A and B are shown apart, each in its own frame.
Chain A
Amino acid sequence: MQQRLPVLICFVAGILMFLQYFSRHPVARTVFVSINDYWQIIFAFTLLVGVAAFGKSNLRQIGRGIDTPYRFIALSGLVIMPVLAIIGGIKIDSPFQWAFEYMLAPMQATVFSLLAFFVASASYRGFRARNLQAAVLLGAALIVLIGRVPISEMISDSFPKVTFWIQNYPSMSARRGILIGIGLGSMTTALRVILGIERTYLRGE
């Protein structure tokens, strides 16, 4: 029961969603829209479960005295946003959007920009033209790096054109090869899940 029922539900939902793709019947459309809506609603509940687990975990750590100030800050951040939304709503000029614009968005952008330093540092240590393949990688990276800034046009008019050519032909062909591999792998995994061969999602309590 504990294993078979979820596998059966997975099979039925998978087959229904797969078959509706090939049908133009209104019932197929209704099934697709309904299950899609259910999917999004259940996903929102999983987020609530995640938030509850996050709160529970942080409170447990505070109780044990581990990283107490940081746990308090994380929990206060978690509480601030819903409180602001309750007080002033989530419209464009609300305190909730103010917190997003002046607190969340700047920090997210800054963390994102931090990666520039780590990528530069890692490439300085890792980029060595030890063999021809590594040299090709290094050459392509340097050409694209220089080709995407205005100084490349000062070096040569053809620099941006070479960058464009590399990105749109040899690089794109390898990207397509990888995408085809991902597509075939995803289809195989999806089929294994629907048929109940792949059951890793049933693990855990």
Chain B
Amino acid sequence: MDAGVIIAGILTLAIYTFLYRDNPIYKAAESLLIGLSIGYALVIYWQTTLVDRLFTPLFSRGELNLMVPLILGLLMFSRFTRRFSWLSRIPIALMIGAGAGVAIPAMLYARTLKQISASVAPLIGKGGGFNFEALVVAVGLLSTLAYFYFSREHKGVVGTAAKVGTYFLMVFFGATFGYTVMSRMSTFIGRIDFLLTDFLRLLA
């Protein structure tokens, strides 16, 4: 049997021991997972970002403008000194500011305008028939927004709309829950299939 399959099988079983209770075997596997995940991310970011985007263009092609992110990046390490730790705020401020600047138009377009335009459909279809789904979407969207509208007390029309909105939210939470459970179940089935077929070879 392939050594990789044996190791993968043992590590899979080590993680599943947690179903019995928290135990040293699970803790060891969990610690290994944390270490390997960080090590993997470190290697990938080192190669794809620092080497490919910074060190190679800066030191091989002489793109001196990249001295700016290099210095800003090195300033991050000032967090380890008490006296100069405030310098790490400079690269953080650049990242936060740039992220916020990009987020405003992106959020306006993708999370607001696009969602509104996708929710507005004619109530009368092309064949002249009533488009029930368009009505459901419009009522659902408006009532959900009414539920999250806290500038007015939920009384009268707003209160009724907010009440209807809770039912739409319950449908959303239920559907999302069902979908999530099924995705986790399919992963579980995949792991059990691996254990029975590849590792233990009980299934041909």
Contacts and interface: CB of A to CB of B under 8 A. Distances in A.
Nearest to A47: B45
Main secondary structure of the interface of A (DSSP, over half): helix
Most buried by B among A108, A110, A112: A110
Contacts of A43: 45, 49, 95
Interface stretch (B122-130, B152-160, B182-190): B182-190
Main secondary structure of the interface of B (DSSP, over half): helix
A147 B37 CA distance: 35
A51 B166 CA distance: 44
A151 interface: no
A115 interface: yes
Nearest to A145: B178
B33 interface: yes
A12 interface: yes
Interface residues of A, number: 121
B168 A120 contact: no
B78 to A, nearest CB: 10
B178 A140 contact: yes
Contacts of A158: none
12 contacts: A6-B92, A42-B73, A44-B54, A49-B79, A51-B38, A77-B33, A77-B38, A110-B11, A134-B170, A141-B175, A187-B112, A191-B100
A69 B140 CA distance: 54
A123 B34 CA distance: 28
Contacts of A47: 41-42, 45
Given A10-B93, A190-B103, 12 more contacts: A39-B99, A42-B72, A77-B37, A103-B11, A104-B33, A109-B187, A141-B177, A144-B179, A166-B171, A174-B141, A193-B100, A194-B100
Interface size class of B (residues with CB under 8 A): 35 or more
A168 B175 CA distance: 10
A99 B44 CA distance: 14
Given A44-B73, A173-B139, A77 B32 contact: yes
Contacts of A34: 65
A37 to B, nearest CB: 6
B144 A177 contact: yes
B135 to A, nearest CB: 10
B42 A82 contact: yes
Nearest to B199: A106
B165 A170 contact: no
